[in-house]
Structure 1
């Protein structure tokens, strides 16, 4: 049986600094941090936290035994938050501004964790929120991430990725397998809609992402070994 975590599970690294506009650690962060703790991160490895936000998962990696952690994000406010949060805890976390390409430039890594944007958004939305919005099918970041995994994950290493079922877990697994990794689901959780999904229930229902009147989503953590 896969581990399942209720929405009320404790979030990692309480008391984190979070500048305005930075993604707030929530249920998906909690689920992925729990997967990091259970994964058995070998001592002394090089690790990557892609789409770091506040750095909560970079902190989890460092506490799990990683010798160095690179935290990458497109948001400079996120990087500032992650830098301060790691420094206050005296953990070996460096930050880098950029996307998948910037992360790959420093790789490959023994362990990679990522909580990327995966929320479907209406094409009519004027200003998508890059913290969570990922195109009409929720795959705008997931597809290149899964296809580019070999540039991130060193031989013998692994990737931990969290996403919603509504954005296509099976597709992520197929792309990771096609890229030469061995994916499997290692954790899942049913959580109530947060503010983002609650504001777009009409779009989600009309597009077939959720059934009428359903107001919860399933989150899944994929582990992909190379």
Structure 2
């Protein structure tokens, strides 16, 4: 399937593939309402649209929002794209499935970048500036029986994600762990990561995890 990646938009990588793989493991109701938070090129959102879901894709980057629209046209798939900050554009709505591959890389800067490519991956010193907001705010948008699928790095505290999701009343667990070699970003801050105690010895592998959280109750 032909897709394009505009300059400054996050290129779909291993974390995207993992999320799409687990999307295909879900049993969606007919005409399921699906939300993709931080859509980037729209790769995950369009994978859901191919399953017959009604998909809303959100990104704070105007380039990413445009990129998702272009790829939807190329794929000849319906996709509702909204530009905005995480869940704000869909306030008051509810979904059967929420998907997210958010920024989660620990970074020396205490705040998230406001512009540039790093906005797609840097998320503060513990990598949780965006993850915390999703874990705290996404549960109220899930319908009974609805599912949140979230991909993040083990460097950014998956146990904290589980704690917050469970505190919100969801049944949450890690459904996959997958190791990949450090990419250019993590290689460039290897010494900083070691200084923070996030990486030990000669380890040059990053563990990605998929978290699946379910809102208890029956659909409908």
Q: Say whether the fold is shared (TM-score over 0.5).
A: yes
Q: CA deviation at 1:51?
A: 0.2
Change in Cα spacing, 1:178 to 1:82, as seen in structure 2 (3 Å) is same
For residues 145-184 of structure 1, what are the structure 2 equivalents within 5 Å? 145-184=134-173
Partner of 1:22: 9
State the alpha-carbon separation in 1 of the partners of residues 28 and 177 from structure 2.
Answer: 20
Q: Tell me, which stretches of 5 or more residues in structure 1 are unaligned?
A: 1-12
C-alpha contact (below 8 Å) 1:49/1:112 kept by paired residues: yes
Q: Does 1:138 align with 2:124?
A: no
Structure-2 change in CA distance of 1:191 and 1:56 (3 Å) = same
1:87 correspondence with 2:76: no
After TM superposition, which residue ranges in structure 1, 4 or more long, deviate above 6 angstroms?
none
Total equivalences in the alignment:
212
State the match for 2:33 in structure 1: 46
Match of 2:205 in 1: 216
The answer as to whether partners of 1:41 and 1:61 remain within 8 angstroms in 2 is no
RMSD between aligned residues: 1.8
Instruction: Tell me which residue corresponds to 2:45.
Output: 58
**Alpha-carbon distance, 1:195 to partner:** 1.3
CA offsets 1:59-117 (integer angstroms, 9 cap, x no match): 11111231x10000011110111011112212121100112342442521111100000
**Unmatched 5+ stretches in structure 2:** 216-220
Moved more, 145-154 or 116-125: 116-125
1:71 equivalent among 47, 50, 57: 57
Contact 2:112-2:129 within 8 A present in 1 as well: no
**How far apart, in 2, do the equivalents of 1:125 and 1:158 lie?**
29
> 2:111, 2:124 within 8 Å by CA — same for their partners in 1?
no
> What is the deviation of 1:125?
9.3
State TM-score, norm by structure 1: 0.89
TM-score by length of 2: 0.91
Is 1:31–1:188's contact at 8 Å kept on the other side of the alignment?
A: no
The CA deviation at 1:130 is 1.1
CA 1:89–1:120: 2 relative to 1, 3 Å: same
